[in-house]
Structure 1
Amino acid sequence: MDPGNDTGTSQFLLMGFSEEPELQPLIFGLFLSMYLITVFGNLLIILAVSSDSRLHTPMYFFLANLSFVDICFTSTTIPKMLVNIQTQNKVITYEDCITQIYFFILFAVMDVFLLSVMAYDRFVAICHPLHYTIIMNPQLCGLLVLVSWIMCVLNSLLQSLMMLRLSFCTQVEIPHFFCELNEMLQLACSDTFLNNVVMYLAAVLLGGGPFAGILYSYSKIVSSIRGIASAKGKFKTFSTCASHLSVVCLFYCTMLGVYLSSAATQSSHSSATASVMYTVVTPMLNPFIYSLRNRDIKSALKRIVGVQVM
Structure 2
Amino acid sequence: MDRDRDGWRGVAGRQGGVVTRAQLRDLGVSRWFVRNQVVAERWVARSPTAISTFTGVMTREQRMWLGVLQGGPRALVGGMTAMEVHGLANWHRDTITVLVPYGDDIQEPIDGIDFVRTRKAIDSFGSPSSELPLMRVEPAALLWAARERSDRTSQGILAAVVQQRLTTPEALTSWLRSLKPLRKAPLFRQALADMSDGAQSLSEMEFKRLCRRFGIAEPAQQTKRRDGEGKLRFTDCEWRLPDGRLLVLEIDGGFHMEVEHWEDDLARQRALSAPDRVIIRCTTREIRDDPERLVRDLRRLGVQRAA
Give TM class, smaller chain.
under 0.3
* TM-score, normalised by the number of residues in structure 1: 0.22
Give the strand-richer structure, 1 or 2: 2
* TM-score, normalised by the number of residues in structure 2: 0.22
Q: Which has the larger radius of gyration?
A: 2
Give the helix-richer structure, 1 or 2: 1
